Structure 1
Amino acid sequence: MIDLRLLREDPDRVRASQRARGEDVDLVDALLSADERRRSSGVRFDELRSEQKSLGKLIPKASAEEKAELLKRAEQLKADVKAADAEQHEADEETRRLLLQLGNIVHPDVPVGGEEDFVVLETHGTIRDFAAEGFEPKDHLELGEALGAIDVERGAKVSGSRFYYLTGVGALLELALVNAAIAQATEAGFIPMLTPTLVRPRAMEGTGFLGQAAENVYHLEKDDYYLVGTSEVPLAAYHMDEIVDADKLPLRYAGFSPCYRREAGTYGKDTRGIFRVHQFDKVEMFSYVAPEEAEAEHKRLLEWEKQWLTALELPFQVIDVASGDLGASASRKYDCEAWIPTQGKYRELTSASNCDSFQARRLSVRMRDGKKVQPLSTLNGTLCAVPRTIVAILENHQLADGSVRVPEVLRPYLGGRELLEPVAK
């Protein structure tokens, strides 16, 4: 959530942010009104309680005649205090309810617009000319099936559409990717983490996934647990309700976990293969930093992602995501999109988001610098979303005979194997 002081001092900035996101601007005025009611009811309650305490001291010393009047006033005050307390509580709840609906303040340099209004910041690598090499590229599913690596038919039989099995070298390729990604993150100073995939409502709400993103979240109603769509959620909640000493920052974690997404609203999109699925594994970087370090850390996360994709020898571009395509918690997000030959376009593989103090305020994660205690900043960056990375590797590194060249960075984790070769049927 945002700082209420910012809302009071600069409501136009908050309105502009809501407008840039394509969200409800009237929410700002409703929140201002609720906050004013919350503060005035708090003052009213304090005044009544003060009078009640003063009266309590007078009654024992009063004469019989005065005491009757004072007791009458005390009864009225008791009722007034109870009513003021109820009003204050109601105003607090209304303010929090509205505050939780408000997205993070969009960074002033973010391009304004929708999904297609991103700005390309960088392009890396060379797109292969398959025609010059004398063959038509196959898509990842045709390659994966020939390699004995991907089985979507049995995935659909067992679990339904958008599920799959990784088999043989497909399973080995996932393990190689995860191990190589964790090795890079560990070398960069991240602490490896295996995280829970079932979380309580507060963890999911605190990271901002029960607002606009709620339709893509799986909820186990009987137990009131949520299945996470990213290990960002348990990593953000790891220090929930804690105060971290400033000299321990930055804290950096690299979480590996299965992830689950309903993919609501994507009917008919990316239905072939394993690019858009309901369950996948992912390595996620997560940082806790002092607020003044947030923007620099954001750039560092992006550099680690670029290092990873370069090591995988993939052509990719970096985009500055437009305001209307930001998640609720992000003030700015960079995506790295890899070239997918059979689609003839770049597709998202990784993202890096600066959430400022938005998640920390919701989860009550603070830092202590001397006597000063304040919310810190959180950031997250996908290092390896496994299925999409496999898609990019198979398609970009395929050879004319249907085999696939293994990037050098993965070979130590595949027993030195240089090629993935089709299996005899």
Structure 2
Amino acid sequence: MIDLRLLREDPDRVRASQRARGEDVALVDALLSADERRRSSGVRFDELRAEQKQLGKLIPKATADEKAELLKRAEQLKADVKTADAERDAADTETQELLQRLGNLVHPDVPVGGEEDFVTLETHGTIRDFGAEGFEPKDHLELGQLLGAIDVERGAKVSGSRFYFLTGVGALLELALVNAAIAQATAAGFTPMLTPALVRPQSMAGTGFLGQAAQDVYHLDKDDLYLVGTSEVPLAAYHMDEIIDADKLPLRYAGFSPCFRREAGSHGKDTRGIFRVHQFDKVEMFSYVTPEDSQEEHKRLLEWEKQWLTSLELPFRVIDVASADLGASASRKFDCEAWVPTQGKYRELTSTSDCTEFQSRRLSIRVREGKQVRPLATLNGTLCAVPRTIVAILENHQQADGSVYVPKVLRPYLGGREVLEPVAK
């Protein structure tokens, strides 16, 4: 959530942020009104309580005639205090509910607009000309079937659409990717973490995934637990309700977890293969830093993502995501999109978001600097979303006979294999 003080001091900035997100600007005024009622009812309650306490001191010293009048006033104060207390609680509840619905403040450098209004910041690698090489590229599903690596038919039989099996070399390729990604993250100073896949409501809400993203979240009603769509959730909640000493920052974690997404808004999109699925594994970077260092940390996370994709020898571009395409918690987000030959376009492989103080305020995570205690900043960055990375590797590194070149960074984790050979014609 944002700082209420900032809302009071500069409501136009918050309105502009909401407008850039394509969200309801009237929410800002409703929140200002609720906050004013919360503060005025709190003042009223405090005044009545002070009078009540003062009256309690006067009654024992009063004469008989005075005491009757004071007791009458005490009864009225008792009722007034109860009413003021209820009004204060109601206004506070309304304020918090409205505040939870407000997205993070959009960074001023973020391009304004929707999904197609991003700005390309840089491109890396060379897109292959398969025509010049004399063959038509196969898509990742056909290659995966040739390699004995992907089985979507049995995935659908067992679990339904958008589920899959990784088999044989496909399973080995996932394990190689995960191990190589964790090795890079560990070398960069991240603490590797295996995180829970189920979290409590306060963890999911605290990271901002029960607002606009709620439709994509799986909920277990009987247990009131949520399946995570990213290990960002348990990594953000890891230090919930804690105060961290400034000399321990930055804290950096690399979480590996299964991820679950309903993909409720993706009907008809990417239905072939394993690009958009309900369950997948992912290595996620997560950082806790002081608010002043969040923008530099954001650049560092992006550099680690670029290092990873470069090591996989993939052509990719970096985009500055437009305001209406940001998640609720992100102030700014960079995506790395790899080229997918059979689609003829770049597709998102990794992303990194600067969430500033938004999540830490909701999760009550603070930093202690001397005698000062204040919210810190959190950031996240996907290092390897496994299925999409497999898609990019298979399609970009395929050869005319259906075999697939193995990037050098993965070979130590694949028994030294330089090429994945077809097992079926």
Q: Same fold (TM over 0.5)?
A: yes
Q: Quote the Cα distance in structure 2 between the aligned partners of 1:197 and 1:86.
A: 39
Look up the match of 1:392: 392
CA contact (8 A) 2:257 2:282 kept: yes
Q: Superposition pairs for residues 31-110 of structure 1, below 5 Å? A: 31-110=31-110
Matched, 1:333 2:333: yes
Alignment partner of 1:117: what SS?
A: coil
The offset of 1:232, in angstroms, is: 0.3
2:409 aligns with 409
The equivalences for 1:228-377 within 5 A come to 228-377=228-377
For each residue in 1:21-45, what CA deviation from the matched residue of structure 2 results, as whole angstroms up to 9, or x when unmatched?
Answer: 0000000000000000000000000
Shift of 1:424: 4.0
Q: Which runs of 5 or more residues in structure 2 are unaligned? A: none
Matched AA of 1:304 = W
Structure 2 residue identity aligned to 1:235: L
For 2:266 and 2:229, locate their aligned partners in 1 and report how far apart those are by CA, in whole Å.
16
Tell me by how many angstroms 1:69 deviates: 1.1
CA–CA separation in structure 2 for the residues paired with 1:193 and 1:310: 24
Q: Distance in 2 between matches of 1:299 and 1:404?
A: 32
Structure 1 stretches of 4+ with a deviation exceeding 2 A read none
Structure 2 equivalent of residue 203 of structure 1: 203
Residue type at the aligned position of 1:338: A
Q: Deviations over 1:143-177 (max 9, x none)?
A: 00110000000000000000000000000000000
> Secondary structure at the residue paired with 1:236?
helix
Number of the residue aligned with 1:422: 422
* Aligned positions of 1:112-131 closer than 5 A: 112-131=112-131
Give the secondary-structure state (helix, strand or coil) at the position aligned to 1:179.
Answer: helix
- Structure 1 residue 16, shift from structure 2 partner: 0.4
SS state at 1:24 partner: coil
Corresponding pairs, count: 425
What displacement does 1:68 show? 1.3
Q: Name the aligned partner's letter for residue 372 of structure 2.
A: K
**Distance in 2 of aligned mates of 1:78 and 1:241:** 35
CA shift for structure 1 position 66: 1.2
Structure 2 counterpart of 1:375, which letter? P
Q: Gaps (5+ residues) in structure 1?
A: none
Structural mapping, 1:119-158, within 5 Å? 119-158=119-158
Secondary structure of the structure 1 residue equivalent to 2:128: coil
For 1:251 and 1:73, the matched residues in 2 are separated by 57
1:67 is displaced (CA, Å) by 1.1
Question: What is the SS of the residue equivalent to 1:304?
Answer: helix
Secondary structure at the residue paired with 1:350?
Answer: strand
- Once the two structures are TM-superposed, the CA of residue 223 in structure 1 deviates from its matched residue by 1.1
Separation in structure 1 between the aligned mates of residue 324 and residue 357 of structure 2, nearest angstrom: 20
Please tell me the residue identity of whatever aligns with 1:188: A
Of all paired residues, the percent bearing the same amino acid is: 86
**Distance of 1:308 and 1:302 partners within structure 2:** 10
Deviations 1:181-231 (A, max 9, x none): 000000000000000111111111110001110110111111111110000
Task: Indicate yes or no: 2:18 matched with 1:18.
Answer: yes
Could you give the per-residue CA deviations for residues 335-379 of structure 1, whole angstroms, max 9, x where no partner exists?
000000000000000000000000000000000000000000000
Cα distance in 1, alignment partners of residues 253 and 364 from structure 2? 18
Residues 145, 424 of structure 2: 8 Å contact kept: no
Instruction: State the alpha-carbon separation in 2 of the partners of residues 120 and 209 from structure 1.
Output: 27
| Separation in 2, partners of 1:255, 1:237 | 13
In structure 1, the partner of 2:176 is: 176
Paired position in structure 1 for 2:219: 219
| One-letter amino acid of the counterpart of residue 200, structure 1 | R
